[in-house]
Amino acid sequence: MALIVQKFGGSSVANAERIKKVARRVVETKRKGHRLVVVVSALGDTTDELLDLAGQITDRPNEREMDMLLATGEQVSVSLLAMAIHRLGEKAISFTGPQVGIITDPIHTKARILDINTSRIEKALQEGNIVIVAGFQGKTVTEEITTLGRGGSDLTAVAIAKVLRAKHCEIYTDVNGIYTADPRIVPNARKLDTVS
């Protein structure tokens, strides 16, 4: 029974129908006998909408408060995905990054992961759950919420896969491959053939 980490980006969970589709894919993998940790981004353009909303309030938002605001997007998607999986008859439990022990440095809006305490994930897996984790977020040793910056959910998935020694880390996205930068933003981004 292999442990697999799957990561679904915002476009994959942009609305209720897409969330149900992701739930079906996750359940299908579980029913093949695998243990699963699923990392999810915020729904669709939620992060951009939250950034815009903050910009309407102030042109210089406090970075700590930005982390508090932006971390809410993933909370919505993880809970909805857990509900969709329950509806398909499987056990699932959702967690925020801080709840699963993702510890970061104190640099708000672009924190780096320092450690992951996997005990809560491992316990939930042992109980037969599909574990759903909010990507992009963590906490400092002083319990401050932090976010990892753009691409933070991918980073969350890879970091969790590494510490859990997962057999695979599958990243589902609307971009074909891994690039040196986001090709939707950086026109000269290069596709990487291999990553080690």
Q: What is the mean pLDDT of residues 29-51?
A: 96
pLDDT at 175 > cutoff 90: no
Which domain CATH number covers 56? 3.40.1160.10
Q: What is the dihedral of CA 25, 27, 33, 36, to 10 degrees?
A: 80
Q: What's the gap between Cα 185 and its chain centre?
A: 21
Residue 173 token pair: 């996205």
Cα–Cα distance, 6 to 38 (Å, whole number): 5
Residue 144 token pair: 């401050």
Report pTM: 0.89
Cα–Cα distance, 125 to 35 (Å, whole number): 7
Determine how many CB atoms are found less than 10 A away from the CB of residue 125: 18
pLDDT given for residue 196 in this prediction: 65
Domain that holds residue 62: 3-192
Q: What is the dihedral of CA 45, 94, 20, 172, to 10 degrees?
A: 60
| Percent of the chain residues past pLDDT 70, beyond the cut | 98
Number of domains in the chain: 1
Point out the least confidently predicted range of 37-51, 119-133, 181-195.
181-195
pLDDT given for residue 186 in this prediction: 85
